[in-house]
Amino acid sequence: MTALLSIVLLLGWVYLASCFVEDSFYNLLVNRVRTALFRPVTWVQRLSPRLSEKAAAGLLLAFALVACATLPVALGWEPEILFGGIHPVRVHIDRRALQSLAAAVGLQLAAFALLLGQLALLRLAFALRGRAADGAVAEFLETATWPLPRRARPAAVAAAAAGCLLAGGALAAWCNDGSGAAPRLALLGAIDLLRLLRWALIACCLLSWAPFVAPRARGAADIANLVLQDLMRLVLGGRDLAVGFVSFGPLILWWVLGLVHPLLAGLVP
């Protein structure tokens, strides 16, 4: 659940980044995030009329971090990150100890740092692909990996990915009383990008079929199809594995990722 809630933090991060990245709101995915969070950010600004949009977005992100960290505790669960599908890192909660709350926030922050590192790795893959993979997803990643510059060199993107993954691994190890080496957790976190892509593929496939059940979901389906097209361009360079009007490329890629992910995770000592 901790890793899933880090996606909520990503939305706040993208909104905050869009306040600094020039013209980022022209990107369809960034624009949808800004539309979804515009009212909450405006509500925070009403608390203090002198508060800028950037400051309000930052405060909202900080509030979301605490809320996401404490939600599992409120539900009676122990916050946990599963690295590589084989190595769980969890926080044992004592509701009477402030140290437990700090550890829960730290683990949530670790999951978010790992997510940013994974997105930076994905951005690196798009950058190495060049124009063959240009599209809305690549532009979105330029905002999601802020404060990296828009046209950052691949070496800088790789360094940022490594830094985020190592920071996430170190934080997770600290929250677990130092159990687990940070470099090993960082490497497993990098491999977990395959699991993230797997979830993204299945979610986009389901959303792309949603209009057949709920016609009002056409907008969400269009975004899902856009993401699927960009991911297929990244992997296949624009080619598609289709039979008639049905594309099997995303499902085949989902199956391949499901095979490769545990194989690579099992190789980490």
Query: Would you state the structure tokens that stand for residue 154, as one six-digit string?
Result: 């691949």
pTM for this predicted structure: 0.90
Average of per-residue pLDDT across 90-109: 72
Predicted confidence (pLDDT) per residue in 134-163, tens digit = 789 999 999 999 999 988 899 999 999 999
**pLDDT category of residue 209 using cuts at 50, 70 and 90:** confident
- Please name the helix (run of DSSP H) or strand (run of DSSP E) that holds residue 70, with its range, or none: helix 53-74
Environment class of 159 (CB within 10 Å of its CB; exposed 0-12, middle 13-18, buried 19+): middle
Tell whether the model's pLDDT for residue 210 goes beyond 90.
no
Tell whether the model's pLDDT for residue 205 goes beyond 70.
yes
**What DSSP assignment string belongs to 203-221?**
HHHHHHTGGGT-GGGHHHH
Predicted confidence (pLDDT) per residue in 121-138, tens digit = 999 999 988 776 678 999
User: In this predicted structure, what is the pLDDT of residue 223?
Assistant: 87
SS3 135: coil
Rounded to an integer, what distance in angstroms lies between the CA atom of residue 223 and that of residue 33? 12
- From residue 237, alpha-carbon distances to 86, 177, 224, 265 in Å are 32, 45, 19, 27
Rounded to an integer, what distance in angstroms lies between the CA atom of residue 91 and that of residue 109? 13
**pLDDT category of residue 180 using cuts at 50, 70 and 90:** low
User: In this predicted structure, what is the pLDDT of residue 82?
Assistant: 87
- R_g of the chain, CA atoms, integer Å: 19
Q: What residue type is assigned to position 17 of the chain?
A: A
Tell whether the model's pLDDT for residue 95 goes beyond 70.
no
- Helix %, strand %, coil % for the chain, to 5? 75, 5, 20
Average of per-residue pLDDT across 200-205: 88
Least confident of 104-118, 162-176, 229-243: 229-243
Domain range summary for the chain, segments of one domain joined by +: 2-179, 200-267
Tell whether the model's pLDDT for residue 105 goes beyond 90.
no
Rounded to an integer, what distance in angstroms lies between the CA atom of residue 229 and that of residue 238? 8
- Asked if residue 124 lies in contact with residue 164, where contact means CB atoms within 8 angstroms, the answer is no
Q: Which residues contact 252 (CB under 8 A, 6 or more apart)?
A: 241
**pLDDT category of residue 213 using cuts at 50, 70 and 90:** low
Spatial CA neighbour of 150 closest among 9, 27, 22, 10: 22
Average of per-residue pLDDT across 195-208: 89
Rounded to an integer, what distance in angstroms lies between the CA atom of residue 254 and that of residue 194? 9
**pLDDT category of residue 85 using cuts at 50, 70 and 90:** confident
Q: What residue type is assigned to position 14 of the chain?
A: V
**pLDDT category of residue 113 using cuts at 50, 70 and 90:** very high
